[in-house]
A and B are shown apart, each in its own frame.
Chain A
Amino acid sequence: MKKIIPFLLAAVLPASALLAQSAAPAPAAAPPEVEEDVVGSLDNDAKIAIPAFATNADVPTQTSAGSTSTLGFSVANVIFADLRNNGLFQPTGPSSLPRPALAQVQAPDYGSWQSRGVDMLVQGYVRAESSGNITVGCYLYDVALGQQRVKAGWTVAPGDWRRAAHKCADLVYSNLSGENPFFDSRVAYIAETGPKDRRMKRLAIMDSDGANHTFLTTGQTIALTPRYSPDYKSIMYLSYTNGQPRIYIIDPQTKAQRLLLSTNNPLFAPRWSPDGRWVLYSMATGGNTDIYKIPSAGGTPIKLTDAPGIDIGGSFSPDGSKIVFESDRSGSQQVYVMNADGTGQRRISFFGGRAATPEWSPRGDQIAFTHIVGNLRIAVMDPAGGSLRYLTDSWQDEAPTWAPNGRVVQFFRTAKTSGKTSLWQVDLTGRNERRLETPVDGSDPAWGPLRP
C-alpha cells in the first residue's frame, strides 16, 4: 500500500504538467468569431424632421400658397402629411420645428438636429422664377451619420406646386423604404349625398392626399365606378344619363363626354389596360353578362368570356398578359384568371364564401379583392390564389384599388343601417388604416398611376 502511493503520484504529476502546458496561452487556433443576434422592432421609431423650406427671397407667387416664404412652409407641410399618413416614419412638421436658413439647407446643422434626437432630416428651398414657375429643391440627410442621402429638384408651374412637394415626399419615402413612389398621383371616385333610397352620386377627382378636389358631373343622373386612364387625360365611368347604364369617357379638363360604344344592351365595369391601349367592359345580353375587350381608340369588340352566368369586371396584370376577373359560373361569385386573349380561364379563389372585385397590383405580386363571408372584407392573395391575407375587418368594405407602387390600397366602407359611405386607405401589411377626407361621402375609389 505504501509503495503504491508514490507511484500514483509520480504518474499523476507529469499528467497535470501536461495539462497545464496544454492550457498555456497563445492558442494555435485562429481568433474566434463571436456571433450575436440583434433583434429590432418593426414598430420602428425613426424620427424624421421636416422643417419649413427656405427661400432665397420672399416674393409673391402665383400659387395658391402666397409668397415664397409661406410656400416654403406649405411645401414642408404637404411632405409632412404624406409621410405621417404613410405610417412608416414618425415625422415632425414645420409647425413644431425651427426654420433653417437658406445656407443650412445644403449644410445642415447636424449637431443641433442630433440634440433633438432626430434620425433623418428633410430640408429644401423654394424659388420663384421670373417665368412664374416655382423651383423646389429637396434634400434628405442622415443626421446620426452626418451625411446626405439623396437630393433632387423640380421646376413646376405655379398651379402644380403641390406636385413638387409630393415628388420630394416620394424621393424620401422610396430612398428610405426601398419601395417605388406613389404620392404624386390622383384618385377618381364617386361623391355621395342624400337619403339612402335616392342617393345623389357625382363623379369627382382629387390628389392622392385629397387636395385639388373637383366635381365632374352634376349628379342629375347616377354616376358609378370611374377609372382614370393611365395618362390621366380621361376618366371612364358608368352613367344612367339616358335612363340606361352606359360607359362614358370624360375629359377632366373640358368636361366633354363621349360614349365608349353605342349599344342597346346595358354596359358595366369599364377598365383600362396598363398601357391605355385597351378597354375592358362587361355587357349583359338576355340577362347573361360577359367581358369584352375593345381598343380604347375604338374598333371591333372582342368577346373574352361566354360562360353562362355573370362574368364581370377584369383587371390586367401589369405586363398586360393576363386578366383577373369575377364570375359566378361555379354557382357563386369567385375570382378567375385568364390570358389577355380570353384563353386559359381558371378559378383561383377557394376560400369559402364569395370573392369579388379583383384588382391586380401594379407590382404584379398580389391581387386585392373583396371577400364576402357574411361581412365584406378587403383581402389580398398571390396570383395563384394562395397566401390569403385580410387587410380590413369591418361590416362592409369593398372595391379595393391599388396605389401606383402596389403597397397601399384604397377602398370604400359602408356603414350599417345608415348606408353612408367613406373612402379609406390601408397598407399591404394591414397597418395604418385611415379614413380619407372628402367633402361629402365617397365610394368607388380608383387610384391613377404615378404622374411623370
Chain B
Amino acid sequence: MNKRLTLTMVIAAGLAVSACAKKAPQVLPPDPGPPSQTETTVSNAPVPGSQADFAAQMMGQDTIYFETDRFNIDATDQAALAAQAQWLMKYPTKRLTVEGHADERGTREYNLALGERRANAAKNYLVSLGVETGRITTVSYGKERPVALGSDEESWARNRRAVTVTID
C-alpha cells in the first residue's frame, strides 16, 4: 500500500516535471534544409567510396578506349586514368579490377590475350600515378562481353576498351 502510493507520487511528479521541461524555445533551431545525401531512405545517391559513387563520379571516364589491335594509352586515356587515380587515392583501401575487352572482329583466343594486354596497360598507368599495385587485379573478357551490339565501326570502337571496376 505504501509502495503503490509512492510509485504514483513519483510518476505524477515525473509527469509534472516533464511537462515543465517542454517549453517553447526562444530561439528556433535552424531549418533542417533539404534532405542530406546520406539518408538512403529519402534519396538514391551513392554511398561515397562505393562502386556506384565511383561510376557516377567518373561519368564515363572509368572506361578507356583503344584502336584496333592496339593497347597503348593515348592522351584521352591518360586523362581518364588520372581521374580514376584521383578518386582511388581518396579511398586507399578500395580494391579494383581492370577489365580488358576486344571487339568481335578478331579470333577468340587472340582477343582474350589482347584484352589482357589492354587491362594490363591501364593498370600499369594507374600504378605509375601512385595507385598501389596490390589493389589492382586485371581480367580479360576478350570479345565475350561487348557493350555495343552492332557490327559496325562505331560499335567496335566502343567495345575496344578497358573498364575500371572498384570492388565493394
Q: Do A and B actually bind? A: yes
Binding site for B on A (CB under 8 A): 195-199, 201, 222, 224-225, 238, 243-245, 266, 268-269, 282, 284, 286-289, 310, 312-313, 326, 328, 332-333, 356-357, 370, 372, 376, 396, 398-399, 414, 416-417, 419, 443-444
Chain A residues near B108 (CB, 8 Å)?
224-225, 398-399, 443-444
- Known contacts A356-B107, A416-B151; is-contact A197 B145 (Cβ 8 Å): yes
CA distance A198 to B144 in the complex (A): 8
Binding site for A on B (CB under 8 A): 69, 71, 104-110, 112-114, 116-117, 119-121, 124, 138-140, 144-147, 149-151
Given A197-B145, A243-B139, answer yes or no on A284-B116 (Cβ-Cβ < 8 Å): yes
Known contacts A222-B144, A266-B140, A287-B117; is-contact A310 B149 (Cβ 8 Å): no
B120 touches A225 (CB 8 A): no
Those 7 A-B pairs whose CB atoms lie nearest each other, nearest first: A287-B120, A289-B113, A356-B107, A287-B117, A310-B113, A417-B151, A284-B116
Contact in complex: B110, A196 (CB < 8 Å):
no
Q: Which of A222, A224, A310 contacts B117 (CB 8 A)?
A: A310
Given the interface pairs A198-B145, A244-B139, A284-B113, the reply to whether A357 lies near B107 with Cβ below 8 Å is yes
In the docked arrangement, what's the CA distance between A332 and B114, Å? Answer: 12
CA distance A243 to B137 in the complex (A): 11
Interface centre among B105, B106, B113 (most CB of A within 10 A): B113
Q: Are B116 and A289 in contact (CB under 8 A)?
A: yes
Verify B107–A376 contact, CB threshold 8 A.
Answer: yes
Establish whether residues B109 and A357, one from each chain, have CB atoms under 8 Å apart when the complex forms.
yes
The interface residues of chain B lying within 8 Å CB-to-CB of A243 are 139
Q: Is the CB of B146 within 8 A of A197?
A: yes
A-B contact pairs, 27 of them (CB 8 A): A196-B146, A197-B145, A197-B146, A201-B144, A224-B108, A225-B108, A245-B112, A284-B117, A284-B120, A284-B140, A286-B120, A287-B116, A287-B117, A289-B117, A310-B113, A326-B110, A328-B110, A332-B69, A333-B106, A356-B107, A356-B110, A357-B107, A376-B107, A398-B107, A414-B104, A417-B151, A419-B151
Instruction: Name the one of A312, A376, A444 contacting B113, with C-beta atoms under 8 angstroms.
Output: A312
Residues of A within 8 A of B105 (CB): 376, 396
Cβ–Cβ < 8 Å partners of A286 in chain B: 120
Q: Is the CB of A333 within 8 A of B139?
A: no
Contact assessment for A197 and B149 in the assembled complex, using a CB-CB cutoff below 8 Å: yes
Which chain A residues border B149 with CB–CB below 8 Å? 195-197, 417, 419
How far apart are A294's CB and chain B's nearest CB, in angstroms?
18
Q: Indicate if the CB atoms of A333 and B112 lie closer than 8 Å.
A: no
Answer whether A310 and B144 are a contact pair too, CB < 8 Å, given A243-B139, A357-B109, A399-B108.
no
Which B residue's beta carbon lies closest to that of A238? Answer: B112
Which residues of A are found within 8 Å of B140, using beta-carbon distances? 245, 266, 284
Question: In the assembly, what is the distance between CA of A255 and CA of B146, in Å?
Answer: 30
B146 contacts across to A, CB distance below 8 A: 196-197
Interfacial chain B residues near A398, Cβ < 8 Å: 107-108
Pair A419/B106 contact, Cβ less than 8 Å = no
Q: Which residues of B contact A266 (CB under 8 A)?
A: 112, 116, 138-140
- Complex contact A417–B112 (CB within 8 A): no
Q: Tell me the complex Cα distance, A446–B119, Å.
A: 29
Residues of chain B contacted by A225 (CB below 8 angstroms):
108-109
Please give me the residue from chain B that is nearest to A265 by CB atom.
B116
Which chain A residue has the least Cβ–Cβ distance from B150? A417
* Residues of B close to A310: CB separation below 8 A: 110, 113-114, 117
B117 proximity list for chain A (CB < 8 A): 284, 287-289, 310
Q: Is the CB–CB distance between A313 and B151 below 8 Å?
A: no
